Amino acid sequence: DVGGPSLPFSPPPPPPPFALHIAWLVQVIAVRAYLGPCPHSRRPMAHLPPCPALSAADTHMMQGLKTFCCAGCLCEFGCVTATHKCPLCTRKLDSYHPLDYHKQIECGSCRRPFGFWLFTVPARVEEALRAEIRASQEAALKAREARLARLHRIQRKAAERGEADQGEAERLKQAEALFVRNLIDACPRCGFEPPVSACDRDSLVAHLHECNDRLAHKQHRKAVAAAEARAGAKAAAVDAQEEATNLAAWQYLGGDQSSMWLLTDKQLQKQCEDKGVDSSGSREEMLCQLAAASTQANNLLTHKASGGHQKAGTAAGPSGSKRGRPRIDRDSLPSNLHSMSLAQLRAVAAANGLVIRDGSTDDVIRQIEAATDDANEPLFLE
Give residue-wise pLDDT tens across range 228-281. Answer: 999 999 889 888 888 988 999 998 888 888 888 989 988 999 889 888 888 888
Q: Is 350 left (phi over 0), alpha (psi -120 to 50) or beta?
A: alpha
Residues in the chain: 382
pLDDT band at 382; cut points 50, 70, 90? very low
Proportion of the chain above pLDDT 90, given as a percent: 9
Segment 37-50 mean pLDDT: 44
Please give the DSSP secondary-structure letter assigned to residue 273: H
Q: Across-strand partners of 85?
A: 92
CA angle, residues 347, 258, 361, in degrees to nearest 5: 30
pLDDT digits (tens, 9 = 90+) for 277-292: 888 888 888 988 888 8
For 188-223, the pLDDT digits (tens) are: 999 999 888 888 889 999 999 999 999 999 999 999
Q: Is the dihedral of CA 157, 347, 263, 144 positive or negative?
A: positive
Percentages helix, strand, coil for the chain (3-state, rounded to 5) are: 55, 5, 45
Residue 180 has pLDDT above 70, yes or no: yes
Cross-strand pairs, 77:
68
CB atoms within 10 A of CB 78: 22
Which pLDDT value is given to residue 305? 52
Cα–Cα distance measured from residue 164 to residue 365, given in angstroms and rounded to the nearest whole number: 38
Q: For 149-159, what is the mean pLDDT?
A: 86
One-letter identity of residue 304:
K
Residue-level pLDDT at 313: 38
Q: What is the pLDDT of residue 42?
A: 45
Q: Is 106 helix (H, G, I), strand (E, B) or coil?
A: strand
Q: What is the mean pLDDT of residues 11-29?
A: 52
Neighbours of 139 (CB within 10 A): 11
The arithmetic mean of pLDDT across residues 299-316, rounded, is: 49
Could you report the per-residue pLDDT of 363-372, keeping only the tens digit for each? Answer: 888 888 888 8
CA dist., res. 34 & res. 307, Å (int): 62
The lowest-confidence range among 29-38, 112-121, 249-258, 356-365 is: 29-38
* Alpha carbon distance 54, 382 (integer Å): 45
**Residues 68, 72, 75, 81, CA torsion sign:** negative
Distance CA 131, CA 36 (A): 26
Which class for 142: exposed (0-12), middle (13-18), buried (19 or more C-beta within 10 A)? Answer: middle
CA distance 326 to 308: 23
> How many CB atoms lie under 10 A from the CB of residue 302?
13
Q: Tell me the β-bridge partners of 372.
A: 328
pLDDT at residue 49 is higher than 70: no
Residue 102 carries which side chain, given as an amino acid letter? Answer: H
pLDDT in tens, 328-343: 878 778 888 888 888 8
Distance CA 50, CA 299 (A): 50
- Residue ranges of alpha helices (H) inside the chain are 18-34, 52-62, 123-161, 168-180, 201-210, 214-252, 265-275, 283-305, 342-351, 361-370
